[in-house]
Amino acid sequence: MIPALIALPALAGVAAFTLKRDAVRRALLIGAAIGHGAMTASCWWRRPEPVASGWLALDAAGLLFLTLTSLLFLASAVYAAHYLRHEERGRRTDFKEGLLFSNAPEAVFTGCLLFFLSTMTLVCASRHLGLLWVAVEGTTLASAPLIYFHRHHRSLEATWKYLVICSVGIGLALLGTLCLAVAGAGSEGGPASMVIDDLIARGGTLQPDWLRLAFLLLLVGYGTKMGLAPLHTWLPDAHSESPSLVSALLSGAVLNCAFLAVLRSQQVLEAGGQGDLGRNLLMTFGLASMGLAGVFVLGQTDYKRMLAYSSVEHMGILALGVGIGGAGARGAMLHAVNHSLTKGVLFLVAGNILHLYRTKEVAGVRGLVRALPISGPLWIAGMLAVTGSPPFGPFLSEFTVLYGALEQGRSVVAALYLVFLAIVFVGMGQTVLRMSQGPLPEGGPAPAAGRPAGAAEPWTSAMVPAALALIVLMLGVYVPPALDAIVLEAAGLVGGR
């Protein structure tokens, strides 16, 4: 099962490069997404057996993140079909600076999307730390061409920064993996097994100094990919310059995969008896990310950058939750689910806004509720969800993290947490409400290609975020027992309850 999960998107990707007709390629994309989703769903029924002598297996956290990835990819694939059909061919004019540019070939885009899914699946399923590294670096390389879809100098800059910063950061993670191998070498002098289960079993024999050094390097390295401050500098540029569905995947899927890698490191650290160091570091990075995101969200002029900084904030919440432990870890796992889905909603809606209004500036968007009857309210609902308002899902998970902090008597942490959440709420709320209300700009928004001004919003592009939003709403009211069980089991991996 697991090899099939990895191989299906990879083979589809290869096929996408060779197909000539766009319609067939888009159908292949959706087909591969559906197939991947179906196989993932069957894993819930019956957990697949470990393969390749324990190198590939799905534990609770892996299954959880795999499901999120698969679901988000399916949503993006359906959205992509509509998006690609309406992207103009050949020379286009950039709306920001008026320069001419063109898009990347669709075959490259679709192929890289499928390779991206394949490498993310490999990250979720990998139990060998070396293989995990290869997979995380693979996600970086597969997603770089995706960011460079609109071929102009801003996206080129974003792609270059993404490539260099993430590659160097992940290189540090490789150094950490090697240090972990030294820590696990033990006194017998035999070759150290880098399979996580072996490392956890031999936790007592891990050399503490090397283990601590390894964790620090792994946290910094994978933290760069995850978007923890101050290593997040590539995130706003990459998320704002790439097409919206790619941003949704980057925020909702790849950041989670990097978080999974950090989780694995924390697991090994706990087994070695140094869990406190890990938790303190995670809490520090988490609070720093939330604080920094709050500062940059206030007064942000580009709404996609605002969403990117919101992702930094939520990654901070995830790190903070795991750092607090106990109920906090459970909140963090649930929050991963809620955040991915909500960010999916927000970015896809942002794509719709961009398509209609032809600007990424907040000041250029007014009267959203009137112009886009479905996406407008979704935009407001998404903002409420992502800033933690009931009745949406993130409220439950953020509350659980807060409960975990208070339960352990960490009042300073809890106070800072609430302050940062409030700052982001004010910042985002202000921006989103200003965009949504008010009259339409003079002359109306620029008509999108193929749609006369004033016509109703095409339901195909609004249907996908609406479906995701419904799931988020449901999760705020009722968490299915199967999901709850998986979340609890995943939290238990890092000592949560």
Question: Any contact of residue 127 with another protein (CB under 8 A)?
Answer: no
Contact 408, 393 (CB under 8 A): no
Contact 136, 170 (CB under 8 A): yes
Q: Quick one: which of 151, 201, 276, 484 contacts another protein (CB under 8 A)?
A: 151
Question: Any contact of residue 3 with another protein (CB under 8 A)?
Answer: no
| Region near another protein per CB under 8 A, out of 191-199, 311-319, 406-414, 471-479 | 191-199
| Region near another protein per CB under 8 A, out of 163-171, 393-401, 462-470, 473-481 | 163-171
Query: How far apart are alpha carbons 344 and 312 in whole angstroms?
Result: 15
Site residues (CB under 8 A) for another protein, limited to 170-189: 171, 174-175, 178-179, 181-182, 185-187, 189
| Region near another protein per CB under 8 A, out of 202-210, 327-335, 356-364, 421-429 | 202-210
Query: How far apart are alpha carbons 377 and 45 in whole angstroms?
Result: 36
Give min distance, CB of 213 to another protein, in A: 8
Question: Any contact of residue 159 with another protein (CB under 8 A)?
Answer: yes
Determine how many CB atoms are found less than 10 A away from the CB of residue 474.
14
Q: Quick one: which of 29, 78, 84, 163 contacts another protein (CB under 8 A)?
A: 163
Q: CA–CA distance from 226 to each of 62, 148, 258, 390, 407 (Å)?
A: 16, 20, 5, 27, 27
Query: How far apart are alpha carbons 449 and 426 in whole angstroms?
Result: 35
Side chain identity at 312, as an amino acid letter?
Answer: V
Question: Any contact of residue 138 with another protein (CB under 8 A)?
Answer: yes
Query: How far apart are alpha carbons 338 and 346 in whole angstroms?
Result: 12
C-alpha dihedral over 436, 290, 231, 117, to 10 degrees? Answer: -60
Question: Any contact of residue 339 with another protein (CB under 8 A)?
Answer: no
Question: Any contact of residue 18 with another protein (CB under 8 A)?
Answer: no
Site residues (CB under 8 A) for another protein, limited to 276-315: 296, 300, 305
* DSSP E strand stretches across 26-135: 92-93, 100-103
Q: Quick one: which of 61, 131, 281, 448 contacts another protein (CB under 8 A)?
A: 131
**Interface mask toward another protein for 229-248; x: CB under 8 A:** -------xx--xx-------
Q: Is the peptide bond before 481 cis (omega within 30 degrees of 0)?
A: no
DSSP calls for 158-184: HHHHHHHHHHHHHHHHHHHHHHHHHHT
Question: Any contact of residue 196 with another protein (CB under 8 A)?
Answer: no
Site residues (CB under 8 A) for another protein, limited to 366-395: none
Give min distance, CB of 267 to another protein, in A: 19
Helix axes 275-297, 411-436, angle to 10 degrees: 30
The residue (of 130 and 429) whose beta carbon lies closer to another protein is 130
Q: Quick one: which of 7, 23, 164, 363 contacts another protein (CB under 8 A)?
A: 164
CA 497 to chain centre: 24
Question: Any contact of residue 128 with another protein (CB under 8 A)?
Answer: yes
Residues that bind another protein (CB under 8 A): 128, 130-131, 133-134, 137-138, 140-141, 144-145, 148, 151-154, 156-161, 163-164, 167-168, 171, 174-175, 178-179, 181-182, 185-187, 189, 191-192, 194, 207, 209-210, 236-237, 240-241, 296, 300, 305
